[in-house]
Amino acid sequence: MNWVDVTLIIALALFGLRGYFRGLFREVLSIAGLVVGLLIAVRYYETVAVLGEAFWNVSPLILKGTAYIAIFFVVYFLFNAVGWLLHHSEKLLFLQTLNRVGGIAVGIGKGTVLAALMVFFAGSASWLPHGARDEISGALLASPLTRVAEEIIRAGKEKMFPKQSGAARTSEIGFLF
């Protein structure tokens, strides 16, 4: 165990502590707000920008950017408000233990994802001194965290760049010729 392991354990403990104080509801709804806000903003920013043209005479680029940001933050704020309300009504709903323990689990999960990605990229960063890369790769937690990061990156690539079937490729090639 070296200083990298100690640093990672402290960081994960701090993420767990943050999760304890924020609770399951706030942690989950905050993540959901980011994802849903992004999806809704991507889907509706152009529609909202067109509506904004009736009120403001500015560049379409500014309208689209402003619409995207506004939609994202409104959705994110609404999800966070619901999370805050649930968090503060935990005693009334008799869910305090679930909220706290779930918050710790989600907090440690978020910390694990961030730590995994940091270890993965720091371990392969050419700009880091060779000694620092050796310390990172020599850490006990480096290997499992690197595997987690590789799975996250693989899943992200599959979602962003889905593989097409042979029939779809053939039809595209036929369309090109």
Residue 176: per-residue pLDDT: 43
- Distances in whole angstroms, Cα of residue 158 to Cα of each of 74, 139, 150, 170: 29, 29, 12, 21
Residue 166: per-residue pLDDT: 54
Place of tokens 């909220």: 99
Residue 168 pLDDT grade (very low, low, confident, very high; cuts 50, 70, 90): low
Tell me how far apart the alpha carbons of residues 60 and 93 are, in angstroms, rounded to a whole number. Answer: 47
Does the structure show a pLDDT above 60 at 169? no
Alpha helices in the chain (DSSP H): 3-53, 60-88, 96-123, 130-138, 142-160, 166-176
Residue 165: per-residue pLDDT: 59
Q: What are the pLDDT digits (tens) for 136-152?
A: 888 899 999 999 999 99
Q: What is the CA radius of gyration of the chain?
A: 22
Tell me how far apart the alpha carbons of residues 80 and 104 are, in angstroms, rounded to a whole number. Answer: 18
For residues 2 and 75, the model is more confident at: 75
CA 101 to chain centre: 21
Q: What is the DSSP letter of 127?
A: T
Residue 167: per-residue pLDDT: 54
Q: What is the phi/psi pair of residue 15, to 5°?
A: -65, -40
Does the structure show a pLDDT above 90 at 71? yes
Task: Give Cβ neighbours of residue 36 (< 8 Å, ≥ 6 apart).
Answer: 75, 79
Q: What percent of the chain has pLDDT over 70?
A: 92
Residue 95: per-residue pLDDT: 86
Q: What are the pLDDT digits (tens) for 21-67?
A: 999 999 999 999 999 999 999 999 999 999 999 998 999 899 999 99
Q: What are the pLDDT digits (tens) for 72-121?
A: 999 999 999 999 999 989 888 788 899 999 999 999 999 999 999 999 99
Tell me how far apart the alpha carbons of residues 132 and 119 are, in angstroms, rounded to a whole number. Answer: 11
Q: Is this structure's pTM higher than 0.75?
A: no
Positive or negative, the CA dihedral 16, 17, 18, 19 is: positive
Residue 118, both tokens: 């940091």
